[in-house]
Each structure stands twice: as structure tokens, then as C-alpha cells.
Amino acid sequence: MTKEKIKKEKTLHTLHSVHSRKLQGAITSTLTHLPSFSFFFFFKKASSFSVCTMMGSGDTSSSSDFFCRRHVFLCYKNPAVWPPRIEAAEFDRLPRLLHAAINARKPHIKKETCLTICEGHDGTETSNGDVLIFPDMIRYRRLTHFDVETFVEEVLVKEGEWLPGNPESLKASYVFVCSHGSRDRRCGVFGPILVSRFREEIELHGLQGKVLISSCSHIGGNKYAGNVIIFGSSINREVTGHLYGYVTPDDVPLLFHQHIIKGEIFDSLWRGQIGLSEDEQKKKQEQRLQLNGGRNLGGMVAGRCQTDGESCCQDNEDSCCCQNDVFEEMTELSTDNKRENVNVISRINKGKGALRKFSSMPTWLDSWEQEDTYAALAVVCAAVSVAIAYSCYKQLR
């Protein structure tokens, strides 16, 4: 192994340690300042894997979304009512049937396609039932569960147009943050914080309407939370999607400026590019590192940790690159308001099972769909018509 390669490996390892501590500190700080969280919060992460596993590897064990050639986002409600899995029987018809239709037609879909749910708000750029397709950068409005099979056949299999909904071109950059709390607690806690931080940056730069931010469902690699996907045009005007991991609120301004404003990859948090194989991702990163002379990586840790020579952990146990295999941060907050926070405690401290149970039982109003309204109105109108007809019949007699 050459000295240059050894130096690069040490730099990457040091960088991983820095971001692990940043993530730990950010979550602890955030929870400490939230008065509603009166509970013990445990956050564990194995740090024995190399940062090289995160950057450019695709992490095939946990994120198949890396290798899809087309990414479909269905805008639908909010993370509070999403069950742990899209295909779950308790989920509403539209997302469940769309997932089933894509799976059923998978052998006939030329481009490998993955489906993710993002937040939907009626009357906005991401209304409930809207479908966003990347990197095609098109949107179809108001998909219903009645149209799912036709939509999949015409758009994803035949790669044509779905006639009931004229495709609209997407001009903005889109940022999706995994906030799927019922799937993983870390994403549920950290995701909304990142969404708020991105919104602040959008307002600060006056990019409302040009950069859109949304919570999304599971995108793989929960151990890398916060996970962020950014779709937009690169320097050469090519539309690409990039996945970042270990993103903390403090990272958002720099990530926003470098990736969205300048159109450059932020290598220190980069997990991969949508649509590229594992080897292609590694080559892409190596090319960027050679082109930049490793300045993006080195700059992040310059002056903070020693990256060559002897290990910094030998003489200084408090160094930022020194960590145990598993770190555990426990924040004890005041228990004066236990009664007020019993719901929060039960959702977090009882583990994923409690979260799954909580989110799989939304209220009837949360589960109510637009087409249900139309169906109910049709039934009411039919009943009224029958009543009027019967009344007229009785009068004629």
C-alpha cells in the first residue's frame, strides 16, 4: 500500500470519527433543549466500520435505492401516519397498491425503479397523490388508487405518458430527508430537525420555489442518519441524485452552499450517486479526490486531528478520532412533566414495536382519502335521489 493511499485512509477514518461525534453531540444538544422530552434517550451506533464503507460503497445491505435508475416519489400525507413499511396491509390504498403494482411489473420495467413516499400537502407543489419522477424531472398530478395499474403500465413499463394527468416539468432542486420514525427512531428524531434547518437556508438565500425540501420514507442505511437525497442539475447540467449520510444541522449550510449553490459534491458526507454501480461510485469519488487533491476531506479535519504518523489515540484519549466500538449517550432530563409526556415516552422508550403500533393505527380522519370523499358524496346523493323519487311516487298515487 502506497504512502499516499495510507494517508487517504487515515484522513477518511479521522473524518468518520469527527462526524460521528458531531452527530452524537447534535442529537444530545437538540434533545436537551426540548422541554417535552422528559425521558432517557439512548443513541447507539457501531463505529467499527470504516468511513470508506459509507462513501461510495452504496451499502448494498441496507440501501437498494442507490442502484435504481429511476426514483419515484409519491407525495402522501406525513411521517406521523406512515407505517414502518410501504407495503404494509394497514397502509392506505394508494401507496400500498402503487408499491404492489411496481413490484408485479418489475420484470417488464426496463429501468430499475424504486418507490419512496414523501410528505404531501394539498394545494402545494407536493400535493397528496402527486408523483415525482427523477432523474426525468417530471410530475404527475392527483394519482388515485383507481389509476395505479394504468399509470405503472403507461409510464414505467411503456415509458410513455399517462394521459389523464399531463406531465409537468420540474425546474427546482429537490431535497428529501428521511424522517421515517416508525421505521427507525433515529430518523424520526433527527429528520424533522434537518428539514427545518434546510428551510432556514432556503429562506436565507431567497430560493423559495427554486429549492424544495420534504420529509421522506426509508431510503436505507439508518445507521448513517441523517440521510439526505438531493436531486438537481450538476455543473454540466446533467440531472443527478446524490445521497448523503451523517448530516447534522451544523453541516446543512455548507452542504447547501456546496451542492445546491455551487453544484459540487460534498465528499465528506457523500454516500453515493443514484443509478451508479458500486464500482462506478468508487471511481467517481476517486476522480473527484484526485481532481481536488483531497482538499474537501482534508479541510474538514485540518487542525483538529493528526492524520499521519502515529495514531492520535495513543497519547490523547480525548482526541476527536478516539472512540469506543459503540458509544452511548444518555441524557437525563427533568421528570416534572411526566404526565404531559407519557405519549412521547411510550413511543420512544418502548422501542420500534411501540412506534410501529402507534403509526399503524392512525385516526380515521388521517386515513381518509380524497376519493373516499367523492364516494361518500355519491352515496348521499343517491340516497337523496331515491328519497325524492319515492316521495314523488307517493304523491302521484
Q: Which pLDDT does position 90 carry in this prediction?
A: 83
Q: Which pLDDT does position 21 carry in this prediction?
A: 54
Q: Which pLDDT does position 202 carry in this prediction?
A: 98
Q: Which pLDDT does position 390 carry in this prediction?
A: 81
Stated pTM of the model? 0.67
Q: Which pLDDT does position 308 carry in this prediction?
A: 36
Q: For the CA atoms of the chain, what is the radius of gyration?
A: 24
Q: Distances from the Cα of 104 to the Cαs of 129, 350, 370, in angstroms?
A: 20, 36, 25
Amino acid at 85: R
Instruction: Please identify, in words, the CATH class of the domain defined by 3-64+172-301.
Output: alpha beta
Question: What's the CA gap between 203 and 323, in Å, rounded?
Answer: 37
User: Nearest 5°: phi and psi at 132?
Assistant: -105, 135
Q: Which pLDDT does position 51 carry in this prediction?
A: 38
Nearest to 69 by CA among 116, 112, 114: 112
Q: Which three cell numbers stand for residue 253?
A: 449550510
Q: Which pLDDT does position 372 carry in this prediction?
A: 65
Amino acid at 370: Q
Q: Which pLDDT does position 285 carry in this prediction?
A: 87
Q: Which three cell numbers stand for residue 101?
A: 403494482
Note whether 323 and 21 are within 8 A (CB). Answer: yes
Q: In the 8-state DSSP scheme, what is residue 87? A: T
Q: Is 190 exposed, middle or buried (0-12, 13-18, 19+ CB in 10 A)?
A: buried
Q: Which three cell numbers stand for residue 144?
A: 388515485
Q: Which pLDDT does position 14 carry in this prediction?
A: 55
Amino acid at 129: G
Question: What's the CA gap between 163 and 92, in Å, rounded?
Answer: 24
Q: In the 8-state DSSP scheme, what is residue 289? A: H
Question: How many C-beta atoms surround the C-beta of residue 89 within 10 A?
Answer: 8
H-type helices in the chain, by residue range? 3-32, 51-54, 93-104, 148-151, 185-204, 252-255, 278-292, 295-301, 342-349, 352-359, 364-367, 370-396
Question: What's the CA gap between 125 and 260, in Å, rounded?
Answer: 19
Would strands 211-216 and 173-178 be described as parallel, antiparallel, or unpaired? parallel
Q: Which pLDDT does position 270 carry in this prediction?
A: 95
Question: What's the CA gap between 200 and 252, in Å, rounded?
Answer: 10
Note whether 122 and 369 are within 8 A (CB). Answer: no
CATH 3.40.30.10 is held by the domain 69-169: yes
Q: Which pLDDT does position 387 carry in this prediction?
A: 85
Provide the terminal-to-terminal Cα distance of the chain, rounded to the nearest Å: 101
Nearest to 122 by CA among 174, 179, 76: 76
Nearest to 159 by CA among 261, 69, 282: 69
Note whether 19 and 268 are within 8 A (CB). Answer: yes
Q: Which pLDDT does position 248 carry in this prediction?
A: 97
Query: What is the number of helices (H) and of strands (E) in the chain?
Result: 12, 12
Note whether 272 and 66 are within 8 A (CB). Answer: yes
User: Nearest 5°: phi and psi at 330?
Assistant: -120, 120
Question: What's the CA gap between 166 and 142, in Å, rounded?
Answer: 10
Q: Which pLDDT does position 50 carry in this prediction?
A: 34
Note whether 103 and 96 are within 8 A (CB). Answer: no
What pLDDT tens digit does each residue of the chain (397 aa) get?
Answer: 566 655 555 554 554 455 545 555 555 554 444 433 333 333 333 333 333 344 443 443 344 456 799 999 999 999 999 999 998 988 899 999 999 999 999 999 999 999 999 999 999 989 999 999 999 999 999 999 999 999 999 999 999 999 888 899 999 999 999 999 999 999 999 999 999 999 999 999 999 999 999 999 999 888 899 999 999 987 777 899 999 999 999 999 999 999 999 999 999 999 999 888 888 988 888 888 888 765 544 444 333 333 333 333 334 333 333 333 333 333 333 334 334 333 433 433 444 443 333 333 344 445 555 566 667 787 888 888 888 888 888 788 6
The angle at the Cα of 259, spanning 258 to 261, to the nearest 5 degrees, equals: 70
Question: What's the CA gap between 306 and 158, in Å, rounded?
Answer: 55
Beta bridge partners of 326: 46
Q: Which three cell numbers stand for residue 215?
A: 420529509
Question: What's the CA gap between 241 and 93, in Å, rounded?
Answer: 28
